[in-house]
Amino acid sequence: MSERSVSRRRQQKRWYTLIAPEQFDRAELGETPADEPEKVHDRTIVTTLGDISGDANQNNVKLTFRVTDVGSDSAYTEFIKHELTRDYLRSLIRRGSSKIDAVVTVRTDDDYRVQVQPVAFTTKQADHSQQKAIRETMVDMVEDAAEDRTYAEFMDSIVQGRLSSAIYNEAKTIYPLRRVEVEKAELEAHPEEVYEEEETAADVSEEEVAEELAEE
């Protein structure tokens, strides 16, 4: 391909400003180039909470967004993942203490499915029963929080630290804690995907029942 052809293709590309969803006040996340709007769909961008808020102390929180709609010069995104940096998580580990984590899949009030990984750090070594009780408390509180909130509200409670603070206040009565965080929270399925899975499962169950009745 000639240099002139390459130059022409570059000139034909348009830059789209990536826009965060409403819960992040439509903040600008950066720009992405494309020669066709359709090619911008489903692109992802990873940034930090510090980049959005302007607070460098929040750079330990990574946020991932995915493009869902494209305008004339803007690309609108949805929030799909919250994750703490590895360096930050390593800094929370202390010798002679316990790290207690869990993985729980929840469904929000508006039927989004999210996988959440809460983690607690104790001041000293907790025994097996104490670790089990703290883990169960974390799982129960994450499930309750999701059930009472929309997807945006639930993820906002994670990003702003309200959910981890609530877990800390409850779980510290079981054993002294130094810190509670949500290590990761990721969107697994939209409502329409959840409904489709349920319909498929229901159809399979009906077929199995019909087969069992036919065999009797």
Question: What's the CA angle centered on 155, arms 19 and 142, to 5 degrees?
Answer: 170
Residue range(s) defining the domain that contains residue 140 = 85-202
| Exposure on the CB side of residue 153, measured as CA atoms within 13 A | 13
Q: What percent of the chain has pLDDT over 90?
A: 85
- Residues 96, 78 share a domain: no
Same domain, 73 and 100: no
Question: pLDDT tens, 31-77?
Answer: 999 999 999 999 999 999 999 999 999 999 999 999 999 998 999 99
The total of structural domains in the chain comes to 2
Nearest to 182 by CA among 169, 196, 167: 167
Look at residue 161 and tell me whether its pLDDT is greater than 60.
yes
Count of positions (residues) in the chain = 216
What is the spatial distance between Cα 58 and Cα 82, in angstroms, rounded to a whole number?
12
The verdict on 8 and 79 lying in the same domain is yes
Residue 171 lies in a domain: yes
Asked whether residue 187 falls in the same domain as residue 102, the answer is: yes
Binning pLDDT at 50, 70 and 90, where does residue 12 land?
Answer: confident
Q: Which pair of tokens denotes residue 33?
A: 């180039």
pLDDT score of 10: 53
pLDDT of 151 over the 90 cut: yes
65, 112: one domain = no
CATH of the domain at 126: 3.30.479.30
Spatial distance between the Cα atoms of 201 and 216, rounded to a whole number of angstroms: 23
Is 0.75 topped by the overall pTM?
A: yes
pLDDT over 80 at 104, yes or no: yes
User: Looking at per-residue confidence, does 7 or 35 come out higher?
Assistant: 35
Residue 210 maps to a domain: no
Residue 78 to residue 62: CA distance in whole angstroms: 15
- Are the C-beta atoms of residues 79 and 155 closer than 8 Å to each other? yes
Averaged pLDDT, 74-86: 97
Q: Among the three residues 38, 53, 84, which one is the final residue of a domain in this structure? A: 84
Which has the closest alpha carbon to 146: 100, 119, 198, 182?
182
> Are 183 and 83 spatial neighbours (Cβ–Cβ below 8 Å)?
yes
In whole angstroms, what is the distance from residue 210 CA to residue 65 CA? Answer: 44
Of 84, 100, 132, which residue constitutes the final position of a domain?
A: 84
Does residue 209 lie in a domain region?
no
pLDDT score recorded for residue 201: 85
Whole-number Å distance between alpha carbons of 137 and 151: 21
- 214 within a domain of the structure (yes/no): no
Give the C-alpha distances (Å, rounded to integers) separating 166 from 60, 131, 142.
20, 18, 10
**21-33: pLDDT as tens digits:** 999 999 999 999 9
Amino acid residing at 119: V
Per-residue pLDDT band at 209 (split at 50, 70, 90): low
Task: Specify if 207 maps to a domain.
Answer: no
State the DSSP code for 104.
E
Residue 157 has pLDDT above 90, yes or no: yes
Cβ atoms of residues 47 and 19 within 8 Å: no
Rounded-to-integer distance, Cα 126 and Cα 132, Å = 10
